A = this chain, B = another copy of it.
Amino acid sequence: MKPLDPREFLDLDPGERLLMGPGPSNVPARVLQALAAPCIGHLDPVFLAVMNETQRLLRHLFQTQNALTIPVSATGSAGMEACLVNLVEPGDEVLVAVNGVFGTRMGDIVQRIGGRLLRVDVPWGRAVDPAAVAEALRGRAPRIVAVVHAETSTGACTPLEELARIAHEAGALFLVDCVTSLGGMEVAVDRLGIDAAYSGTQKCLSCPPGLAPLTFSPAAVARLEARRHPVVSWYLDLGMVRDYWGNERKYHHTAPVNMIWALREALRLIAEEGLEARFARHRLNHRALVAGLEAMGLEMLVPEAERLPMLNAVRIPEGVAEAKIRRALLEDYGIEIGAGLGPLAGKIWRIGLMGHSCRPKNVLLLLSALSVLLRSEGFRLRGDALEAARAVYAAA
């Protein structure tokens, strides 16, 4: 082997970005400081106490009493996989409503683990229509009905209450992806009747990526306990994971200690702000951003009643070089926004207003930068974006 010269690797200096894409969002200083606290053992009494606190804070955020409420030791997509591998057995029918990338991914996982996929396709950019799900359920008894609350690939928000009722009437558990919604809008697990939900830390929690908050209702736990086949994933087997997070403290894998420090601090910041105030902040900044974008003459992908506050998909105007503008935002302004995925690639930008990134100065900065760049690309602005956004803040 050729020896490696360590001097080739400079001191880490990633600079700073204003993160207004689909995640990660900007991480507050208090969370970064907690992340860098000393690492201690994963069975140390001090760490076990922090685990308990983290679970209490997570239950508050999920608005649930569920005992099995934990952060899975991997990113949000592993939270999706954890829910499905624990709740689906080979041959089980699973209804997945697909209105974007993440519903598609749920269907993919169901098939990999031997579930029978009953897929309800919904146009990308639209919420899932409960009537379409009810129709698909006629004469069927799937074990699970799964939807994405906040479809990060399109910005569509699917209301949960009626879908939960429909799922339960069909005898199914109701599984919800709230990766992008949790911490930015209400995910009231107990009140809505959600049986299993998973999220990620890098969206509206404004913690670095690396953990997947997850909660299982008593009915979901009963399903887990009644399994006839072992869970195909050892790492994500919640029957074992909960013996570590529960009172037994039985060693399973080594918990990502420093990431737990960071998550606890992010959850503490949320508790200090208050859930209602935080959700209202996300709604207000969203309204200001949309007012500004529409004032410029841009169009949102999602109909007004179905829009998420924290992920805003805006159509790219005819003739505008979308990648060039994203690059200029990043290189000239240090602002990250997201591109479209799959069939929406090249057709939309995805502007995130998540957690710590979701504040008026960021909305005004992005609208200013985008106005300048669009004009330089020859796009004729219809009106003044800043004025429109400021009017929303003034009226609030």
Chain A interface residues (CB < 8 Å from chain B)? 1, 4, 6, 9, 12-17, 19, 21, 23-24, 26-27, 32-42, 44-47, 50, 53, 56-57, 60, 63, 65, 73-78, 80-81, 105, 108-109, 111-113, 190, 200, 202, 208-210, 230-235, 251-259, 261-262, 264-265, 268, 271-272, 330, 336, 341
Q: How many chain copies?
A: 2
Closest Cβ of chain B: how far from A228's Cβ, in Å? 14
Given contacts A17-B41, A23-B254, A233-B233, 18 further A-B contacts (CB under 8 A): A4-B60, A12-B37, A12-B261, A17-B38, A19-B39, A24-B40, A35-B36, A39-B209, A42-B209, A77-B253, A81-B235, A109-B234, A111-B230, A112-B233, A202-B254, A209-B255, A232-B233, A256-B259
Residues of chain B within 8 A (CB-CB) of A44 are 17, 330, 336
Contact assessment for A77 and B34 in the assembled complex, using a CB-CB cutoff below 8 Å: no
Closest Cβ of chain B: how far from A349's Cβ, in Å? 14
- In the complex formed, the residue of B with least CB distance to A200 is B254
Q: In the complex, what distance in Å separates the CA atom of A39 from the CA atom of B25? A: 8
Closest Cβ of chain B: how far from A20's Cβ, in Å? 10
Closest Cβ of chain B: how far from A45's Cβ, in Å? 8
Closest Cβ of chain B: how far from A164's Cβ, in Å? 17
Q: In the complex, what distance in Å separates the CA atom of A19 from the CA atom of B41? A: 7
Residues of chain B within 8 A (CB-CB) of A4 are 56-57, 60, 271
- In the complex formed, the residue of B with least CB distance to A206 is B39
Pairs across A and B, CB under 8 Å, 10 listed: A1-B63, A4-B271, A12-B34, A14-B46, A24-B42, A27-B38, A35-B36, A77-B234, A208-B258, A210-B258
Closest Cβ of chain B: how far from A4's Cβ, in Å? 4
Closest Cβ of chain B: how far from A60's Cβ, in Å? 4
Contact assessment for B341 and A251 in the assembled complex, using a CB-CB cutoff below 8 Å: yes
Closest Cβ of chain B: how far from A152's Cβ, in Å? 10
Contact A40/B15 with A253-B76, A257-B24 known, Cβ cut-off 8 Å: yes
